[in-house]
């Protein structure tokens, strides 16, 4: 999936925005991520996952990700690639 990685203004985080129209079933995504051993905090509008100590990824149904706290755009890109690959089966 193609996406853009954008720094969130004056914060230690990045927004990852899909460049195509996509929807994810957040319940299915939560199941997939739990099976991979991640601690998942789902809600009706987003899923928050701790991917490393102190590093969170938040997934929204429209495919947007928030990766924080993080200073490296390259690391955010790598995390997004792995994350999208993991949850491919949750696409609607």
Q: For residue 54, what pLDDT is reported?
A: 86
Return the exposure string of 15-47: e unless at least 16 CB atoms fall within 10 Å of the residue's CB, then b.
bbebeeeeebebeebbbbbeeeebebebeeeeb
DSSP string, 25-51: -HHHHHHHHHHTT-EEEE-SSEEEEEE
Per-10-residue mean pLDDT for the chain, 92 residues long? Answer: 91 94 96 94 91 90 96 94 96 94
pLDDT of residue 43: 87
Nearest Cα to Cα of residue 52 among 29, 75, 24: 75
- Say which CATH superfamily domain 3-90 falls into: TATA-Binding Protein (3.30.310.10)
* pLDDT at site 42: 84
pLDDT at 58: 97
pLDDT at 62: 97
């Amino acid at each position: 999936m193609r996406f853009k990685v954008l720094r969130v203004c004056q914060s230690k985080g990045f927004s990852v925005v899909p460049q195509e129209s996509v929807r994810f079933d957040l319940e299915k995504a939560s199941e997939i991520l739990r099976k991979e051993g991640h601690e998942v905090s789902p809600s009706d509008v987003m899923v928050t996952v701790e991917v490393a100590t102190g590093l969170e990824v938040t997934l929204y149904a429209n495919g947007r990700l928030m990766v924080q706290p993080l200073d490296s755009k390259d690391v955010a890109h790598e995390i997004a690639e792995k994350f999208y690959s993991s949850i491919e089966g949750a696409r609607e």
